[in-house]
Amino acid sequence: MKLGVNIDHIATLRNARNEGRPDLIEAVKLILHHDISAITMHLREDRRHIKDEDLINVKNLNAPINLEMAATKEIQQIALKILPHSVCIVPEKRQELTTEGGLDVSGQKEYLKEFIKPLKENGIIVSLFIDADKEQIEASRYIGADYIELHTGTFSSAFKKGDFASELEKLKQGTILAQKIGLKVNAGHGLDYENVSLMKQIPDLKELNIGHSIISKAIFTGLDVAVEEMIKLIK
Ligand code: PXP
């Protein structure tokens, strides 16, 4: 199981003043020597954190970018220009604080099947951010995704309340079903230093995408230590 470090919130802090601090590129350089699988960045439609030039600058470092994106033509064109290592298609609403809920794949199967074709043809690995729901998992397989990323937000909230067994079980069962039908499985959202070890109970998860808890810890420990400690917990 590998770590994908989501750097959106470094950009959030930078954008609070728009004076280039903290420098996203300096941050990526600090992270890249770790044994991570991805630098994860969400280019939102409203560009509230990551900007187009951030993607170009990170790509120029030869970093393995995992681009979180809505299934819109505009962002698809950018993905085809940047050619990230992978994309993770997420639902996106302008008013939300962060990605809320998984993508509805089964409700837009044919659209998504066509949408991901050029991405795959250009060698980009395609993942879909979904809830651990049978219908969504089967639809993900149908449209030809390589990976799914299971939404761990509900599990993470349940963990805070101390009653997470059934949410963890849903993630396990969803993973087993997905793997059985030929999908590889990642997970992410709301994972932190307290709950992340439980992900080891889920068989053969490939990647955990984690952002907010790492960047929050980095304020106190520095980014290098924050990333290193998370890697230790998931190994
Ligand atoms: N995975 C996906 C698809 C996301 O949208 C996000 C949030 O940007 C994350 C993982 C990371 O979530 P968090 O910042 O809560 O660790």
Write out pLDDT tens, residues 145-189: 999 999 999 999 999 999 999 999 999 999 999 999 999 999 999
pLDDT given for residue 93 in this prediction: 76
Pick the closest to residue 218 from 208, 228, 207, 209 (CA basis).
228
Pick the closest to residue 208 from 136, 158, 155 (CA basis).
155
Task: Give tens-digit pLDDT for 48-62.
Answer: 999 999 999 999 999
Q: How many domains, in total, are found in the chain?
A: 1
> Is 212's C-beta closer than 6 angstroms to any atom of ligand 1?
yes
What SS3 state is found at 152? coil
pLDDT given for residue 73 in this prediction: 97
CATH of the domain at 144: 3.20.20.70
Beta carbons of 130 and 103 less than 8 angstroms apart: yes
Torsion, Cα of 221, 230, 152, 128 (10° steps): 110
Catalytic residue among 42, 49, 92, 207: 42
What SS3 state is found at 9? helix
Q: Is 193 exposed, middle or buried (0-12, 13-18, 19+ CB in 10 A)?
A: middle
Share of the chain above pLDDT 90, in %: 96
Clarify whether 68 is annotated catalytic: yes
Q: 77 is in which domain, residue-wise?
A: 2-234
Pick the closest to residue 36 from 2, 84, 1, 62 (CA basis).
2
- At a CB cut-off of 8 Å and minimum separation 6, what does 146 contact? 120, 125, 126, 127, 183, 184
Q: Which atom of ligand 1 is nearest to the CA of 209?
A: 10
Q: Provide the pLDDT confidence category of residue 88 given band limits of 50, 70 and 90.
A: very high
> Is 102's C-beta closer than 6 angstroms to any atom of ligand 1?
no
Catalytic residue among 49, 68, 92, 149: 68
Task: Give tens-digit pLDDT for 187-227.
Answer: 999 999 999 999 999 999 999 999 999 999 999 999 999 99
